[in-house]
Amino acid sequence: MRIENSVAFVTGANRGLGLAFAKALLKGGAGKVYAAARDPDAITLPGLIPVRLDVTNRQEIEAAAIACGDVDLVINNAGISRGSPLLAPGAIEAARAEMETNFFGPLLVSRAFAPVLARNGGGAILNVLSALSWISFPAFATYSASKSAAWSLTNGLRNELREQGTQVVGLHVGFMETEMAAGANAPKSRPEDVANFTLAALVAGEEEVLADEVSRGLRQGLSAPRGVYLGAPKR
Protein backbone atom coordinates (compact mmCIF):
# COMPACT_ATOMS: atom_id res chain seq x y z
CA MET A 1 0.00 0.00 0.00
CA ARG A 2 1.32 3.42 -0.97
CA ILE A 3 0.31 6.70 0.64
CA GLU A 4 1.36 8.86 -2.30
CA ASN A 5 -1.62 9.37 -4.63
CA SER A 6 -3.82 7.14 -2.47
CA VAL A 7 -7.46 7.97 -1.76
CA ALA A 8 -8.19 7.60 1.94
CA PHE A 9 -11.35 7.53 4.02
CA VAL A 10 -10.85 8.28 7.73
CA THR A 11 -13.62 7.97 10.31
CA GLY A 12 -13.59 10.23 13.34
CA ALA A 13 -11.28 12.59 11.48
CA ASN A 14 -12.27 15.78 13.25
CA ARG A 15 -9.95 15.39 16.25
CA GLY A 16 -7.40 13.24 18.06
CA LEU A 17 -5.79 10.36 16.21
CA GLY A 18 -8.21 10.65 13.28
CA LEU A 19 -7.13 14.22 12.62
CA ALA A 20 -3.48 13.18 13.03
CA PHE A 21 -3.99 10.48 10.39
CA ALA A 22 -5.61 13.00 8.05
CA LYS A 23 -2.69 15.40 8.43
CA ALA A 24 -0.13 12.63 7.92
CA LEU A 25 -1.91 11.42 4.79
CA LEU A 26 -1.90 14.88 3.27
CA LYS A 27 1.76 15.33 4.16
CA GLY A 28 2.53 11.92 2.65
CA GLY A 29 1.08 12.92 -0.70
CA ALA A 30 -2.33 11.28 -0.62
CA GLY A 31 -4.32 12.31 -3.66
CA LYS A 32 -7.55 12.70 -1.70
CA VAL A 33 -8.57 12.37 1.94
CA TYR A 34 -12.22 11.99 2.89
CA ALA A 35 -12.61 13.12 6.49
CA ALA A 36 -15.69 11.56 8.07
CA ALA A 37 -17.38 12.88 11.20
CA ARG A 38 -20.86 13.12 12.69
CA ASP A 39 -20.66 16.87 12.13
CA PRO A 40 -18.87 17.60 8.85
CA ASP A 41 -18.59 21.26 9.85
CA ALA A 42 -16.07 20.11 12.46
CA ILE A 43 -13.66 19.28 9.61
CA THR A 44 -11.69 22.48 9.15
CA LEU A 45 -8.25 21.38 7.96
CA PRO A 46 -7.63 22.63 4.41
CA GLY A 47 -7.28 19.86 1.85
CA LEU A 48 -9.73 17.46 3.50
CA ILE A 49 -13.09 16.50 2.02
CA PRO A 50 -15.71 16.48 4.80
CA VAL A 51 -18.18 13.58 4.88
CA ARG A 52 -21.15 13.28 7.21
CA LEU A 53 -20.87 9.92 8.94
CA ASP A 54 -22.11 8.39 12.14
CA VAL A 55 -20.56 4.91 12.19
CA THR A 56 -23.63 3.57 13.96
CA ASN A 57 -25.86 4.71 11.09
CA ARG A 58 -26.00 2.07 8.35
CA GLN A 59 -27.69 4.38 5.84
CA GLU A 60 -24.99 7.04 6.19
CA ILE A 61 -22.27 4.40 5.82
CA GLU A 62 -23.80 2.98 2.65
CA ALA A 63 -24.23 6.48 1.24
CA ALA A 64 -20.59 7.28 1.98
CA ALA A 65 -19.40 4.13 0.21
CA ILE A 66 -21.36 5.15 -2.89
CA ALA A 67 -20.21 8.78 -2.80
CA CYS A 68 -16.57 7.88 -2.15
CA GLY A 69 -16.16 5.19 -4.78
CA ASP A 70 -12.49 5.94 -5.48
CA VAL A 71 -11.23 4.99 -2.00
CA ASP A 72 -8.33 2.54 -1.67
CA LEU A 73 -7.54 3.05 2.03
CA VAL A 74 -10.08 2.91 4.86
CA ILE A 75 -9.05 3.92 8.38
CA ASN A 76 -11.59 2.83 10.98
CA ASN A 77 -10.61 5.26 13.71
CA ALA A 78 -13.88 6.46 15.25
CA GLY A 79 -14.32 5.16 18.78
CA ILE A 80 -15.81 5.97 22.16
CA SER A 81 -15.14 5.09 25.78
CA ARG A 82 -17.72 5.39 28.54
CA GLY A 83 -15.23 4.54 31.28
CA SER A 84 -17.33 1.88 32.96
CA PRO A 85 -16.57 -1.18 35.08
CA LEU A 86 -18.55 -4.28 34.14
CA LEU A 87 -20.63 -4.35 37.32
CA ALA A 88 -21.25 -0.62 37.68
CA PRO A 89 -24.68 0.96 37.33
CA GLY A 90 -25.16 1.78 33.65
CA ALA A 91 -22.56 -0.74 32.52
CA ILE A 92 -24.94 -2.47 30.11
CA GLU A 93 -25.81 0.82 28.42
CA ALA A 94 -22.12 1.75 28.26
CA ALA A 95 -21.16 -1.62 26.79
CA ARG A 96 -23.90 -1.47 24.15
CA ALA A 97 -22.87 2.05 23.09
CA GLU A 98 -19.19 1.06 22.88
CA MET A 99 -19.94 -2.10 20.92
CA GLU A 100 -22.09 -0.16 18.46
CA THR A 101 -19.28 2.29 17.74
CA ASN A 102 -16.11 0.27 18.36
CA PHE A 103 -17.18 -3.08 16.88
CA PHE A 104 -20.27 -2.76 14.70
CA GLY A 105 -19.05 0.57 13.31
CA PRO A 106 -15.84 -0.86 11.79
CA LEU A 107 -17.73 -3.96 10.70
CA LEU A 108 -20.37 -1.96 8.82
CA VAL A 109 -17.81 0.41 7.29
CA SER A 110 -15.59 -2.49 6.20
CA ARG A 111 -18.54 -4.37 4.69
CA ALA A 112 -19.65 -1.29 2.75
CA PHE A 113 -16.19 -0.41 1.45
CA ALA A 114 -14.86 -3.92 0.75
CA PRO A 115 -16.36 -3.97 -2.78
CA VAL A 116 -15.00 -0.46 -3.37
CA LEU A 117 -11.50 -1.59 -2.38
CA ALA A 118 -11.79 -4.67 -4.59
CA ARG A 119 -12.68 -2.52 -7.62
CA ASN A 120 -9.75 -0.23 -6.87
CA GLY A 121 -7.10 -2.92 -6.72
CA GLY A 122 -7.43 -4.25 -3.17
CA GLY A 123 -6.13 -1.38 -1.07
CA ALA A 124 -6.13 -1.57 2.70
CA ILE A 125 -8.23 -1.36 5.83
CA LEU A 126 -6.63 -0.06 9.03
CA ASN A 127 -8.52 -0.66 12.28
CA VAL A 128 -7.58 1.41 15.32
CA LEU A 129 -7.59 -1.02 18.24
CA SER A 130 -5.95 -0.60 21.64
CA ALA A 131 -3.50 -2.13 24.08
CA LEU A 132 -6.69 -2.62 26.09
CA SER A 133 -7.75 -5.19 23.50
CA TRP A 134 -5.61 -7.60 25.54
CA ILE A 135 -6.07 -6.54 29.17
CA SER A 136 -8.89 -5.12 31.24
CA PHE A 137 -8.85 -2.53 34.01
CA PRO A 138 -12.05 -1.84 35.99
CA ALA A 139 -12.21 1.79 34.82
CA PHE A 140 -12.19 0.70 31.15
CA ALA A 141 -13.70 -2.78 31.35
CA THR A 142 -16.60 -2.34 28.92
CA TYR A 143 -14.32 -0.46 26.53
CA SER A 144 -11.77 -3.30 26.67
CA ALA A 145 -14.48 -5.79 25.78
CA SER A 146 -15.44 -3.77 22.71
CA LYS A 147 -11.82 -3.46 21.61
CA SER A 148 -11.23 -7.18 22.11
CA ALA A 149 -14.17 -7.77 19.81
CA ALA A 150 -12.69 -5.32 17.30
CA TRP A 151 -9.37 -7.20 17.43
CA SER A 152 -11.17 -10.43 16.56
CA LEU A 153 -13.06 -8.58 13.84
CA THR A 154 -9.77 -7.39 12.36
CA ASN A 155 -8.35 -10.91 12.31
CA GLY A 156 -11.51 -12.20 10.63
CA LEU A 157 -11.53 -9.46 8.00
CA ARG A 158 -7.90 -10.23 7.20
CA ASN A 159 -8.86 -13.81 6.39
CA GLU A 160 -11.94 -12.92 4.34
CA LEU A 161 -10.37 -10.08 2.35
CA ARG A 162 -7.01 -11.71 1.61
CA GLU A 163 -8.25 -13.21 -1.65
CA GLN A 164 -9.21 -9.81 -3.08
CA GLY A 165 -5.78 -8.43 -2.16
CA THR A 166 -6.89 -6.13 0.65
CA GLN A 167 -4.29 -5.54 3.34
CA VAL A 168 -5.92 -5.52 6.79
CA VAL A 169 -3.96 -3.88 9.59
CA GLY A 170 -4.66 -3.74 13.32
CA LEU A 171 -3.16 -0.85 15.30
CA HIS A 172 -2.57 -1.39 19.01
CA VAL A 173 -1.54 1.57 21.13
CA GLY A 174 -1.76 2.58 24.78
CA PHE A 175 -3.00 5.92 26.02
CA MET A 176 -2.56 8.93 23.76
CA GLU A 177 -2.75 12.68 24.29
CA THR A 178 -6.38 12.84 23.20
CA GLU A 179 -9.67 13.91 24.72
CA MET A 180 -10.65 10.28 25.32
CA ALA A 181 -7.63 9.62 27.55
CA ALA A 182 -7.59 13.03 29.25
CA GLY A 183 -8.41 11.53 32.65
CA ALA A 184 -5.92 8.65 32.46
CA ASN A 185 -2.92 8.97 34.76
CA ALA A 186 -0.43 7.08 32.60
CA PRO A 187 2.28 7.72 29.98
CA LYS A 188 0.76 8.96 26.74
CA SER A 189 1.92 8.98 23.12
CA ARG A 190 1.47 11.87 20.72
CA PRO A 191 -1.22 11.12 18.11
CA GLU A 192 1.05 12.56 15.41
CA ASP A 193 3.80 10.07 16.27
CA VAL A 194 1.35 7.17 16.28
CA ALA A 195 -0.12 8.17 12.91
CA ASN A 196 3.29 8.52 11.24
CA PHE A 197 4.57 5.24 12.70
CA THR A 198 1.44 3.39 11.64
CA LEU A 199 1.39 4.69 8.08
CA ALA A 200 5.05 3.70 7.69
CA ALA A 201 4.16 0.18 8.84
CA LEU A 202 1.22 0.11 6.44
CA VAL A 203 3.52 0.98 3.55
CA ALA A 204 5.95 -1.72 4.68
CA GLY A 205 3.17 -4.32 4.39
CA GLU A 206 2.70 -4.97 8.10
CA GLU A 207 -0.51 -6.55 9.35
CA GLU A 208 -0.14 -5.62 13.02
CA VAL A 209 1.23 -2.37 14.41
CA LEU A 210 2.43 -2.01 18.00
CA ALA A 211 2.83 1.74 18.22
CA ASP A 212 4.36 2.19 21.68
CA GLU A 213 6.24 0.41 24.45
CA VAL A 214 3.02 -0.34 26.30
CA SER A 215 1.48 -2.27 23.40
CA ARG A 216 4.74 -4.04 22.63
CA GLY A 217 5.15 -5.15 26.24
CA LEU A 218 1.58 -6.36 26.53
CA ARG A 219 1.76 -8.21 23.23
CA GLN A 220 4.82 -10.08 24.46
CA GLY A 221 3.09 -10.77 27.77
CA LEU A 222 0.26 -12.66 26.07
CA SER A 223 2.50 -15.71 25.75
CA ALA A 224 4.03 -15.52 29.23
CA PRO A 225 3.51 -18.55 31.52
CA ARG A 226 0.97 -16.43 33.36
CA GLY A 227 -0.63 -14.39 30.59
CA VAL A 228 -0.63 -10.66 31.20
CA TYR A 229 -4.40 -10.62 30.74
CA LEU A 230 -4.78 -12.65 33.97
CA GLY A 231 -3.63 -9.68 36.01
CA ALA A 232 -1.44 -9.63 39.10
CA PRO A 233 -1.24 -12.98 40.94
CA LYS A 234 -3.08 -13.31 44.24
CA ARG A 235 -1.01 -13.04 47.37
Catalytic residue numbers, as ranges: 143
Residues 6+ apart with CB under 8 A from 138: 85, 86
> Would you call 48 exposed, middle or buried from its count of C-beta atoms within 10 A (0-12, 13-18, 19+)?
buried
Contact by Cβ (8 Å): 154, 104? no
Q: In this structure, are residues 33 and 14 in contact, taking their beta carbons and an 8 Å threshold?
A: no
At 37, which helix (H) or strand (E)? strand 32-37
- Taking the C-alpha atoms of residue 92 and residue 148, their distance in angstroms, rounded to an integer, is 17
What phi, psi does 142 have (nearest 5°)?
-70, -35
Q: Which residues pair with 26 in a beta bridge?
A: none
90: left (phi over 0), alpha (psi -120 to 50) or beta: left
